[in-house]
Amino acid sequence: MLEVQAIRVAYGQATALWDVSLAIGKGELLCVVGPNSAGKSTLINAIAGLHRVSAGRLVLDGQDISRLAPHRFCGQGIALVPEGRRLFTEMTVRENLEIGSYLGPARRERAASLERVCALFPALVEKLAQPAGALSGGQQQMVAIGRAMMARPRLLLLDEPSLGLAPGIVLDMFEAIRRIHADGIAVLLVEQNVSMALAVAQRAAVLEEGRIVAIGRPDELMARPELRRAYLGLEPGVEPAIA
């Protein structure tokens, strides 16, 4: 469904992504893991249209969307749950959700979408009238996911949803992600928390210093050394000295 073809993304002079390619099939759940500053957020932001690719292409259902203006990506069926939530803190929870369904087609189904989001996250029902900035971290994450779901996307992008959340809430959230995926929506999940990500993924990729160094099924990746090296700096075969 979505093909990322050898994209290169730069911030000013710093190149954050080098020739990154991957593909997400219809209804697939793909995870991208990797340490900080590996470029995970850059990748998601590029796919969401927030950031221009300087080389390579983004192809959605055969159509090249790389040159579209940022506000046109949502209309293509791509919705973003940004890193750090980035809710509109001055607006209420309901208003945040409504912005999710700002565009025409989604707007028409706003009421139905709202019901679905409330069914997904029952805890939000009583918070609808509160300013988004007053909610706890976990609740804000729910609103952020809900906001994206209101756009009725075909592809949901999640950027480090577990960031700053307590482990119990993280479990609930990944459960919600699993349910969203079960409804047939393709999901691209970028995560620092490797074990949770690999537990839900159908396929996963490891990003290190702006390049994809491994890609495959979760159980394959767990056995390979790239993960440990990327996160912990431990080279395979080196005997660690024990204090």
Partner 1 sequence: MALPSATLLAQAILAGLFTGALYGLLGLGLSLSWGMLRQINLAHFALAFLGAYLTYELSSRRGVDPLLSLVFIVPLFFALGAALHWVLTRFRVSPFNSLLVTFGVTVIIEALLQWIWTADYRKLESSYAEHKLRLGPLFLPLPELITLGLGVGISLAVWVALRRTDLGKAMRAAAEDAPIAAAFGVNQNALALMLSGLNAALAGVAGVCIALAYTLSPSQIYAWIGVVFAAVMLGGLGRPLGPLIAGCVIGVTEAVTMAVTAPSWAPLVSFSLLMLVLLARPGRVA
Partner 2 sequence: MKRSLLLILAAGAGLATVPWLGLPAFYESILYLVLHWIALATSWNLLSGYSGYFSFGHGAFFGIGMYTTATLATRFDIPFLWTLPAAGAMAALFGTLLGAVAFRVQAVRAELFSLLTLAATFVVATLILNTPIDGGPGVYMSAVPVPAIGPTASGTFYLLALAVALLTVVAALAVYHSRFGTGLFAIHDDEDVAEVMGVPTFRYKLGAFALSCGLAGLVGGVQALFISYVTTGDTFTIALPLTVVLMAVLGGTRHWAGPIVGATAITLLLYSFTGGDTAIIGKGLTGLVLIVVILFMPEGLLGQALKWWQARRGPVAAVPPAPATAPAAASARRPIAGAGEVLLRARGVRKSFKGVQALRGVDLELRRGEILGLLGPNGSGKSTFINVASGHYAVTAGAIEFDGRRISGIPAHRIAHGGMARTYQIPRPFAHLTVLENVALPAMFGAASLDRRRAEAEAWQWLAFTGLSERAGALPGELNLHQRKFLEFARALASRPQVLMLDEVLSGLTPSEIDEAVALIRRIRDQGATIVFVEHVMRAVMALCDRVVVFHRGEVLAEGEPREVMQRPEVVSAYLGQAMAPACAELADEAPMPAGVAEPIHA
Binding string to partner 2 for residues 183 to 222, with x set by CB under 8 A, is what?
A: ---------xxxxxxxx---------x------------x
Instruction: Give the one entry of partner 1, partner 2, none that residue 160 binds, where binding means its C-beta sits below a cut-off of 5 to 8 angstroms depending on kind.
Output: partner 2
Residue 163 tokens read as: 């960031």
Shortest Cβ 145–partner 1 spacing (Å): 13
Binding string to partner 1 for residues 6 to 25, with x set by CB under 8 A, is what?
A: --------------------
The three-class DSSP label of residue 20 is strand
Strands (E), the chain: 2-11, 14-24, 29-33, 55-60, 63-64, 78-81, 155-159, 186-191, 203-208, 211-216
Q: ∠217-182-106 over CA atoms, to 5°? A: 120
Q: Which is nearer to partner 2, 173 or 196 (CB)?
A: 196
Is residue 71 close enough to count as binding partner 1 by CB under 8 A?
yes
Instruction: Give the one entry of partner 1, partner 2, none that residue 103 binds, where binding means its C-beta sits below a cut-off of 5 to 8 angstroms depending on kind.
Output: partner 1
Q: Which is nearer to partner 2, 89 or 105 (CB)?
A: 89
- Quote the CA–CA distance of 78 and 95 in Å, as a whole number: 20
Q: Is 198:204 a contact under the CB 8 Å cutoff?
A: yes
Residues 72-101 that bind partner 1 (CB under 8 A): 72-75, 79-80, 82, 86, 88-91, 95, 98-100
Q: Is 115:97 a contact under the CB 8 Å cutoff?
A: no
Residue with tokens 């080196």: 238
Binding string to partner 1 for residues 135 to 164, with x set by CB under 8 A, is what?
A: ------------x---x-------------
Count of Cβ atoms closer than 10 Å to residue 77 Cβ: 19
Report the side by side order of strands in the sheet with 14-24: 14-24, 2-11, 55-60, 63-64
- Quote the CA–CA distance of 172 and 178 in Å, as a whole number: 10
Q: Which is nearer to partner 2, 182 or 234 (CB)?
A: 234
Q: Which of 36, 102, 123, 216 is in the footprint of partner 2 by CB under 8 A?
A: 36
Q: Which of 70, 164, 216, 225 is in the footprint of partner 1 by CB under 8 A?
A: 70
Shortest Cβ 85–partner 1 spacing (Å): 10
Buried b / exposed e over 82-117, threshold 16 CB at 10 Å, is bbebebeeeebbebbbbebbeeeebeeebeebbebb
Q: What is the contact surface with partner 2 in residues (CB under 8 A)?
A: 11-16, 35-38, 160, 163-164, 166-168, 192-199, 209, 222, 227-234, 238-243
Q: What is the contact surface with partner 1 in residues (CB under 8 A)?
A: 48-50, 69-75, 79-80, 82, 86, 88-91, 95, 98-100, 102-103, 107, 147, 151
